[in-house]
């Protein structure tokens, strides 16, 4: 694909419950206006209902117009394993590169637009460029903070990531029969859920054991440090476009 933009963003970075989702969306330059027409924007600016409507339309258009979509759903287990050997920034470098490579083939004619996760935005771009591997050398990488509010393709990617992340948390909530809330530590519902999910012999697998919220609640309940998560982290789940289109919106 020539003359395309690849927008990449994440959802769930700071959550204590559930996965971190990264999405890369590949859109030809001439199709950028279509995203404007359907109401794509920074996901944080849209209501949950509006995000669902726009995500549905992006799914339809991606199938009809051949846009590339790469979604990486990173489990809490993989997050905890990543924190043993690095930090969240280094893990997200891997995830952003995986999302891009799953969305399209290497192409030097593309621009890769990143909503930077590192406080040093250019460094984040350099690290993602290094992680992408061969074939991407001729592409231009733009890495900036707040890119989801500045560029329509990154904004659209943020909608997909947020929609998928919310769906995963809702699925967990149904399966556990527990109201998980947003999954973020600032949410009282989520903190209550962490407490309920920490009463057993081990914290529940849907929790990020390396987060201080889990550690603090675990120590309060059990009077000992939170266990170190064993190896055997689950690999990221790569959703095919067909699977994505068949989700309940």
CA distance 72 to 237: 6
Number of Cβ within 10 Å of residue 222's Cβ equals 15
Give tens-digit pLDDT for 197-245: 999 999 999 999 999 999 999 999 999 999 999 854 343 333 334 443 3
Q: pTM for the whole thing?
A: 0.90
DSSP letter at 107 equals: -
For residue 162, the model assigns a pLDDT of 98
The mean pLDDT of 92-100, rounded to a whole number, is: 98
Q: Are 151 and 113 in contact (CB under 8 A)?
A: yes
Q: Please report which residue ranges of the chain form alpha helices under DSSP H.
A: 32-37, 48-65, 76-85, 88-103, 121-132, 147-150, 152-176, 188-196, 212-222, 241-245
Higher pLDDT: 63 or 238? It is 63
Sketch out the chain's domains with CATH numbers.
4-170 (3.30.420.10), 177-222 (1.10.10)
């Amino acid at each position: 694909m020539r003359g395309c933009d690849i927008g990449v963003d994440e959802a769930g970075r700071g959550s204590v419950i559930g996965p971190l989702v990264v999405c890369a969306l590949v859109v030809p330059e001439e199709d950028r206006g279509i995203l404007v027409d359907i109401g794509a924007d920074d996901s944080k600016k849209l209501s949950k209902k509006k995000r669902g409507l726009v995500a549905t339309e992006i799914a339809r258009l991606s199938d009809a117009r051949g846009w590339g979509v790469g979604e990486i759903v990173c489990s809490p287990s993989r997050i905890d394993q990543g924190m043993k050997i690095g930090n969240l920034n280094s893990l997200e470098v891997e995830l952003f590169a995986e999302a891009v490579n799953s969305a399209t083939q290497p192409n030097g004619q593309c621009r890769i637009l990143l909503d930077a996760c590192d406080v040093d935005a250019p460094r984040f771009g350099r690290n993602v460029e290094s992680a992408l591997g061969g074939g991407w050398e001729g592409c231009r990488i733009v890495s900036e903070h707040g890119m989801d509010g500045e560029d329509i393709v990154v904004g659209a990617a943020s909608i997909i990531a947020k929609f998928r992340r919310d769906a995963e948390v809702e699925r967990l909530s149904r399966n556990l029969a527990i109201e998980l809330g947003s999954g973020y530590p600032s949410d009282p519902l989520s903190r209550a859920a962490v407490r309920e999910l920490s009463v057993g012999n081990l914290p529940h697998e849907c929790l990020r054991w390396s987060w201080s919220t889990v550690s603090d609640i675990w120590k309060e309940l059990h009077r000992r440090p939170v266990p170190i998560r064993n190896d055997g982290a689950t690999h990221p789940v790569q959703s095919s476009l067909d699977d994505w289109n068949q989700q309940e919106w």
